[in-house]
Structure 1
Amino acid sequence: MELPPLTMEQLSQLVASNAPPSQLFEALSRYELQACLIATGSNGLTAGADDSTLLSMFYSSFFLVHLLTDQVSEARALTKRIPEALLQYDPSLQNCLTLLRAVWQTQHAQVYQVLRGLPWPDALQPLIRRYESFFQDKTLIAVSRSYEAIRLATAAVHLGLDEQLAEKEDPNVILNFTKCGWAWDSESKLLYPKPIVVSPTEPQSSNGIRKAMAMLGTRAC
C-alpha cells in the first residue's frame, strides 16, 4: 500500500489515535525518509514556517513514541538525525531534549515537571498524556520490585504525586498506596511495596496496573 504524503493532518490523526505504541512507531518510522527529504529540500528552518512546523511535529511525535515504546537509547540516536537548526531552535524539540535528559538520568520529579510544566503544542498532548501514564506504570512496577521498604514521600516523587501531602502522611495518600496492595507501617513510617508481576505476553499498561494507577490519584496532583 502506497504511503500517504507526510502532512500535518496525517500526523495529527496518527497522534490522536488509540493505536498501540508499536503501531505508531511503525507508522512514523515509514515517514522518516519523507521527513528527511523535506528537511534536505528546504534547508530546515530557512525555507518557510509550514515545513518547519511539519518537521517539528513529526520529529517531536517520533521522539515521544520512541519513549512510549521504551526505546530510550534509540530516542537518543534519533536526536542525532534531526536537522541541527531545527533541534537547536524549535521549542518542542528543545522540550524533547530536556525530557530525554531527565529520563536518561532517571530524574523522576524532573520527568513529571517537563511533561506537565513545559509548553507543549496541543497537537502533541495525546502523546504527552500517554507517555506520562506509561512512565508512571513503568515506575510503579520498578518501585514495587526494587524496594522492600520506601518512604512515603519518596514513593510519591517517583510516581508524580503530591510530595508535600506525603510528607504530612496524608491519609488519602497512604490509602492510595495501600489500595495497590502495599503495606503502611505507622511506627517506622515506611511503605512496604507489593511486587507487581506483568505477563510478558501482555502490554505493560495492563488493566490491572491501569486500575492501580487510577487509585494513585489524578495525574495533575
Structure 2
Amino acid sequence: MELLPLSTEQLSKLAASNVPPSQLFEVLSQYEAEACLIPAEGDSSQTDNSGLELLSLFYSSFFLTHLLTDQIPEARALTKRMPETLRNKDPSLQNCLTLLRAVWQTQHDQVYQILRRLPWPEALQRLVQRYESMDLFLPAIFQSSTDISSIGFFQDKSLVALSHSYEAIRPATAAGYLGLDQKAAENGDPNIITKFIGCGWTWDPETQLLHPKPIAVPSPHNQTTNGIREAMAMLGNRAG
C-alpha cells in the first residue's frame, strides 16, 4: 500500500492512531526524505506558516516515535538533522530537546514533569501519553505469556529495570521511578502498594519494603517487513 503525501492531516492521523510504534517508525522514516525538501528558512516566497507547521509536526512526531521504539542515540542524531532555525525556535521541538536531555541523563522526575506539564500541541498529545505510560499497572500485563511490545514506553522500561535491579526497595523510591506520588508511597498508601503487588511484587509490612519480581521481556518480533502496509491498513480501518 502506497503512502499518502506528507501533510499535517496525515501526520495527525498517524500520531493519534494505535499503530504499533515499530510500524509507526517505519512509516515516518519513509517521509523524512520528503520533509527534507520543505524549506524551513528564507524569505516569505520560500517559506510559509503551513510549511513550518508541517515540519514541526513531522520532526516532533518522528522524535517521539524514536523514543517509543527505544532508539535514544538515534533520537539524538535526529535532532541534528532537524532544520537548525526551526529547532532553535519551535516550541514543540524545544520540548523534544528538553525531554531528550532528561531521558539521556535518566532524570526520571524531570521526564515525567516534561511530559505532563509542558504545553504539547494537541496533535502530539497521544504520542506523549503513549510514551509516558500504557496502563501497565494491570495484574495481567506482566504474565509470562504476555508479549510486552510496549517496552519503549518510559514507565514500562523503568518498571522492568527496577524489577531486575532491586531485591528490595522502599515504596517512595519505586514511586519516584514511575512518576507516582512519592509522599503518598512513603506513607504506605495502599493504592500504590497494590499497584506493585499487581505486577507480581511482594510487600513486607514489617520492613516496609517492596520485593520486586523480575519481569521477563520477550525478544522483539521483527515487524518491519509489512510495517507500512499494516500501519496504513489500520489507519484505513480507523477512518472507516
Change in CA separation of 1:11 and 1:117 when aligned onto 2, cut-off 3 Å: same
The answer as to whether partners of 2:39 and 2:47 remain within 8 angstroms in 1 is no
Which structure shows the higher helix fraction?
1
Report the alpha carbon displacement of residue 201 of structure 1 after superposing the two structures with TM.
4.8
Match of 1:175?
Answer: 194
What does 1:5-16 correspond to in 2, within 5 Å? 5-16=5-16
Mapped partners of 1:78, 1:120: distance in 2: 19
1:6-61 per-residue CA deviation (whole Å, 9 max, x = no partner) reads 11111111111211111111111111111110036x54998221111110000000
Q: In structure 1, what is the equivalent of residue 89 of structure 2?
A: 89
**Superposed counterparts of 1:1-221, under 5 Å:** 2-39=2-39, 43=42, 47-133=47-133, 134-201=153-220
Deviation per residue, 1:167-212 (Å, 9 max, x gap): 2111221122122221122232211101111222569xxxxxxxxx
Aligned length: 202
Quick one: higher RCO (CA 8 Å, sep 6+), 1 or 2?
Answer: 2
Cα distance in 1, alignment partners of residues 42 and 5 from structure 2: 19
Write out the 4+ residue segments of structure 1 that deviate beyond 4 Å after TM superposition.
Answer: none
Counterpart-to-counterpart distance in 2, 1:97 and 1:22: 22
Amino acid in the other structure paired with 1:88: N
SS at match of 2:210: strand
Shift of 1:155: 0.3
Partner of 2:226: none
Give the TM-score of the pair, scaled to structure 2. 0.79
The code of the aligned residue for 1:109 comes to D
- Cα distance 1:59–1:29, how it changes in 2: closer, same or farther (>3 A)? same
For structure 1, the residue ranges without an aligned partner over 5 or more in a row are 204-221
Give the counterpart letter for 1:7 in structure 2: S
CA distance in 2 between counterparts of 1:52 and 1:76 reads 21
Unmatched runs of 5 consecutive residues or more in structure 2: 134-152, 223-240
Contact (CA 8 Å) 2:201, 2:213: kept in 1 or not? yes
**CA offset digits 1:117-160 (Å, max 9, x no partner):** 10000000111111112111111111001111111101001111
Farther-moved stretch of structure 1 (85-94 vs 163-172) = 163-172
Normalised TM-score (structure 1): 0.86
Identity %, equivalent residues: 66
| Distance in 2 separating the partners of 1:144 and 1:74 | 26
Question: Does the Cα contact within 8 Å between 2:25 and 2:65 map onto a contact in 1?
Answer: yes
Q: Which amino acid aligns with 1:198?
A: V
